[in-house]
Homo-oligomer: A and B are copies of this chain.
Amino acid sequence: MSSSIGTLFRVTTFGESHGAGVGVVIDGCPPMLELSPGDIQVELDRRRPGQSRIVTQRKESDTAEILSGVFDGKTLGSPICILVRNENQRSDDYSEMKEKYRPSHADFAYDQKYGTRAWPGGGRASARETVGRVAAGAIAKKILHSVGVQVVAYVKRIQNIEANISALKVTPEMVESNIVRCPDQKAAVEMITLIESVRKEGNSVGGVIECVAWGVPAGWGEPIFDKLEADLAKAMLSIPATKGFEVGSGFAGTYLTGLEHNDEFVADSAGKVTTTTNNSGGIQGGISNGMPIQFRVAFKPTATVMRDQNTVTTSHENTVLQGKGRHDPCVLPRAVPIVEAMASLVLVDHYLRQLALSNRNQNLA
């Protein structure tokens, strides 16, 4: 299992959905950063189950305890371990899962790979694992803020209801102004109605989250294999339920010609260079070019549904799985802080990598 990501800002998550708890160790966080449990809690609360009527009603306070790496309210430069104890474990909801593989879940694949599986809940494959990511992302965000970078994600589309707004006009306040985290209030109302409707049917829906990183200076990202967009793609596809990633013009850009697609450079009177369009999504050759970094992530409809489905038993016999228990009819509202967290982890890692490069001519004296 690979539960770590990052080169200099190295994040390792741990924990199963129905074990003692979930958490994260962050190694490589710079010292002297002010950090309190509240800094982390605010992001965990955005991810928390039970936060609104359109998400799962599982009750978890998701209270963060900082076990290490912070002294007198500031980071030490040593590993920061954050633990969130599990609270609301109704394992009986999951008894059927011991014997039957849930369609489009990871149960079957885990059994094939490991020969074992924590069957109550999704175990390690549960979205609960993302608690650690969001906690680490909260720290990454603080570092990024200190150098003028802000990461904002929002729900762009739920099934076929799409926000009618430019990503470049979306503010964090607009995102948090409604429970579906869509900055277009009219679309938000429709999305909420849709999600409530599919929940009543025991069904689920997916959609698209868009994310913009503001203020990233030119020069972040490592050419060839750790290109900025490559690391973002990996980070996004590592989030449960994701099926696609596109940066800048994305798949739609493939319908343009080169002359239409190219981003022309222009210099202002002060010599500052920008591009007149941003089909590149702020990244060229794997390196940020100073324009906003912009990408989208596709989330499939939640695999957990409250309806009967054909499947097989762990003994490989055909059977029917009954839908019951609690579920997220749509993961996107809770996935917004996860997308922001993963983007922040990638960015802060490349920020630190670039520091090593850009400052090499200065002695450490």
Contact = CB atoms under 8 A, between A and B. Distances in A.
A237 B233 contact: yes
Contacts of A253: 206, 243, 298, 300-301
30 contacts: A1-B79, A4-B12, A5-B225, A14-B68, A14-B79, A15-B68, A30-B357, A32-B116, A76-B118, A104-B258, A106-B285, A110-B287, A112-B287, A113-B358, A204-B258, A206-B258, A225-B238, A229-B242, A230-B235, A230-B237, A233-B234, A243-B247, A243-B253, A244-B244, A244-B247, A256-B301, A258-B303, A258-B304, A258-B305, A267-B317
Total identical chains: 4
Contacts of A229: 237, 242
Interface string A223-236: 11111011111111
Given A3-B79, A14-B27, A125-B223, 16 more contacts: A13-B79, A19-B68, A30-B360, A31-B114, A77-B116, A78-B124, A110-B287, A124-B224, A148-B363, A230-B234, A243-B247, A246-B246, A267-B318, A271-B316, A352-B356, A355-B359
Nearest to A364: B217
A78 B123 contact: yes
A201 B10 CA distance: 45
Given A3-B225, A68-B22, A76-B124, A305 B262 contact: yes
Given A19-B68, A108-B289, A116-B71, A364 B4 contact: no
Given A68-B14, A108-B289, A318-B267, A262 B309 contact: yes
A261 interface: yes
A224 B13 contact: yes
Closest 3 CB pairs of A and B: A106-B285, A244-B246, A204-B258
